[in-house]
Amino acid sequence: MFAMIDTLIEATLAFVRDNRDWAFWIALVFALGENVAFISIVIPSTAILLGVGALVATGELSLWPIFLGASIGAVIGSFISYWIGWRYGDAILRLWPLRNHPDLVARGNAAFLKWGVIAVFIGHFFGPLRAVVFVMAGISRIPMRLYAPVNIVGCLGWAYLTPTVGEVAGHIVGWIWRALGF
What's the pLDDT score for residue 73? 96
- Tell me how far CA of residue 25 lies from CA of 16, 66, 133, 141, 174, in angstroms: 10, 8, 25, 31, 27
Q: Give burial (CB, 10 Å; 0-12/13-18/19+) of 26.
A: buried
Q: Give the number of domains in the chain.
A: 1
In the predicted model, is pLDDT for residue 75 greater than 80? yes
From CA 93, how far away is CA 86, in angstroms rounded? Answer: 12
In the predicted model, is pLDDT for residue 1 greater than 60? no
Q: Answer whether the bond into residue 163 is a cis peptide, omega within 30°.
A: no
- Of 124, 35, 32, nearest in space to 73 by CA: 32
Give per-residue pLDDT as tens, 10-48: 777 778 778 888 889 988 998 998 899 877 777 777 777
* Mean of per-residue pLDDT scores for the chain: 83
Give per-residue pLDDT as tens, 123-145: 888 876 776 789 889 988 889 99
Cβ neighbours around 18 below 10 Å, total: 9
Cβ neighbours around 16 below 10 Å, total: 21
Kind and range of the H or E run holding 112 = helix 102-115
114, 129 in Cβ contact below 8 A?
no
What's the pLDDT score for residue 82? 95
DSSP 142: -
Q: Which domain holds residue 53?
A: 2-179
What's the pLDDT score for residue 112? 76
